[in-house]
């Protein structure tokens, strides 16, 4: 969560540490990614960045404790001389809800929310770490609407222990999907949208309005499932299937019919989940917004989002606009600066760009 850890961990005696340079890190079952945004006067540029692939020895459920994660973090820390870091936490480890509270001071709002936590999440307040974001107001009763993200204390503690084991000091946490929204949704754009993070083993969908995440879901279908489907259909090796996926992609052309039908099941699952989320918003928008707005767009990002034809397929299958995410839209203009990452590479960096950007605001 985007909050300091001095109260939780009792390791930071003053808030001055928040002004010190830090690097944003995201730990996923497929890779550790990091980036640093450097302020140059009124503009920003990319400093340190990179990723280290992870090969898990156990289940993805406990991937932060896997030896390959600490090895990757240690290598990054030593090579790039990292110290202070901001960390994204996977949204599936969080409870996210929206509610209305009296328009009081931030401290009073936090105290009031702490008393209400048990109404919304199945963990006692003393075992929870939470933060909130004001997303609107209700002039009729003088209340404000807030989006709240809650993470079990145990989850945060495990990340802190992991980082400490390799000599990294965390200064803040945030939910991965919320950090991605900070990068992918243009400042001032309050319209509802769906973020689709297409990864290797799974796809994460997040419902966003007023640039705040209100709901997330996980689909056990990603790039690996597509590769496996191509492998079985064409009876080829993993490497050849992966190559074909990225070279041929998703196309309805006659000459690509075989690969399209090989991917049909995986693509259908993804499309159906997006449609469910659109339907959920239509049925429950009043929980999150005081105005009735349709979902305006679906934004795809993630390590597998650059598969050719994926956004075109989704747009043709859905009744909403689909676009490939631009992680730099709140960072700089391409007219003044060209980042060192390609567009395809940058799609995997949305969360860390959003985290790093938040530190510069």
| pLDDT band with cut points at 50, 70 and 90 for residue 256 | confident
Mean pLDDT of 92-117: 90
For 59, phi then psi, to 5°, come to -75, 150
From CA 360, how far away is CA 128, in angstroms rounded?
27
pLDDT attached to residue 237: 97
pLDDT attached to residue 42: 79
Q: Give bridge partners of residue 142 from the DSSP assignment.
A: none
Q: Do domains 1-92+153-186+329-361 and 189-324 have the same CATH topology?
A: yes
Structure tokens at 172: 């803040």
Pairing of strands 84-89, 169-175: parallel
| pLDDT band with cut points at 50, 70 and 90 for residue 5 | very low
DSSP at 160: H
pLDDT attached to residue 264: 93
Q: Looking at the domain covering 189-324, what would its CATH class be?
A: alpha beta
User: Which sequence spans correspond to the domains of the chain?
Assistant: 1-92+153-186+329-361, 189-324
Whether the CB-CB separation of 173 and 180 falls below 8 Å is answered with no
Give the CATH architecture of domain 1-92+153-186+329-361: 2-Layer Sandwich (3.30)
pLDDT attached to residue 89: 92
Q: What is the pTM of this model?
A: 0.90
Whether the CB-CB separation of 272 and 266 falls below 8 Å is answered with no
């Amino acid at each position: 969560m985007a909050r300091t850890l001095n109260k939780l961990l009792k390791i930071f005696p003053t808030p001055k540490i928040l002004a010190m340079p830090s690097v944003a890190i995201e730990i996923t079952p497929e890779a550790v990614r990091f980036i640093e945004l450097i302020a140059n006067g009124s503009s920003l540029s990319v400093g340190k960045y990179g990723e280290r692939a992870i090969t898990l020895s156990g289940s993805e459920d406990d991937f932060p404790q896997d030896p390959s994660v600490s090895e990757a973090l240690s290598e990054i820390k030593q090579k790039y001389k990292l110290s202070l870091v901001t960390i994204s936490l996977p949204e599936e480890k969080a409870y996210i809800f929206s509610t209305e509270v009296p328009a009081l001071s931030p401290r009073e709002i936090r105290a009031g929310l702490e008393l209400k936590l048990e109404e919304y999440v199945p963990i006692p307040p003393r075992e929870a770490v939470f933060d909130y974001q004001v997303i609107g107001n209700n002039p009729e009763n003088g209340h404000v609407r807030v989006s709240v993200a809650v993470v079990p204390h145990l989850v945060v503690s495990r990340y802190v222990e992991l980082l400490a084991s390799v000599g990294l000091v965390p200064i803040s946490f945030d939910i991965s999907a919320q950090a991605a929204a900070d990068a992918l949704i243009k400042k001032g754009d309050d319209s509802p949208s769906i973020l689709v993070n297409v990864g290797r083993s799974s796809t994460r969908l997040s419902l966003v309005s007023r640039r705040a995440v209100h709901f997330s879901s996980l689909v056990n279908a990603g790039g690996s499932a597509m590769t496996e489907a191509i492998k079985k259909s064409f009876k080829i090796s993993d490497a050849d299937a992966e190559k074909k996926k990225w070279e041929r992609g998703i196309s309805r052309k006659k000459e690509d019919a075989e690969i399209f039908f090989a991917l049909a099941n995986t693509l259908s699952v993804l499309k159906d989940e997006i449609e469910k989320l659109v339907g959920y918003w239509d049925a429950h928008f009043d929980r999150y917004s005081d105005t009735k707005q349709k979902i305006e767009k679906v934004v795809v990002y993630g390590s597998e989002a650059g598969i050719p034809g994926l956004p075109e397929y989704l747009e043709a299958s859905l009744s909403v606009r689909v676009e490939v995410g631009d992680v730099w839209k709140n960072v700089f203009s391409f007219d003044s600066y060209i980042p060192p990452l390609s567009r395809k590479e940058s799609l995997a960096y949305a969360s860390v760009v959003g985290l790093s950007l938040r530190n510069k605001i």
